[in-house]
A = this chain, B = another copy of it.
């Protein structure tokens, strides 16, 4: 049984910009040599989101933004904004609703995702950010090799 903790870093532009981080996670998994287990993907910070989504332009560039704009619009006068002279209350609310961590099982070194299912980080903040995401593997090498 192994626990391996990695980090990935990337730059974001804000306002519910969606990043497909599946390739980086699969690469870390492949290089680990682990066969069976699970990967915990966790965003550091309170204005990002972690979930799965079909990563296609319609959902990514329009539909997800539209739904969340209805739930917690960006321009609104949140008490958070008034208290801290900030403008990202909406980002905090979206993050709390969507969640910041996701756990994916893997078998024989492959993530158990659907064909149209990708692991995505969503940047809810209102400015460009340097993001850090924890990718922690827990698993074992195959007993049959």
State the copy count for this chain. 3
Say whether A89 contacts B138, CB under 8 Å. Answer: no
Q: Which residues of B contact A92 (CB under 8 A)?
A: 53-54, 59, 63
Task: List residues of chain A with CB under 8 Å of any chain B CB.
Answer: 1, 3, 5, 36-38, 40, 42, 44-46, 51-54, 56-59, 61-64, 67, 70-72, 78-84, 89, 92-93, 95-105, 107, 112-114, 116-118, 120, 134, 136, 138-140
Say whether A80 contacts B96, CB under 8 Å. Answer: no
Say whether A44 contacts B96, CB under 8 Å. Answer: no
The DSSP consensus for interface residues of chain A is: mixed
Nearest Cβ in chain B — how far from A46, in angstroms? 4
Say whether A103 contacts B40, CB under 8 Å. Answer: yes
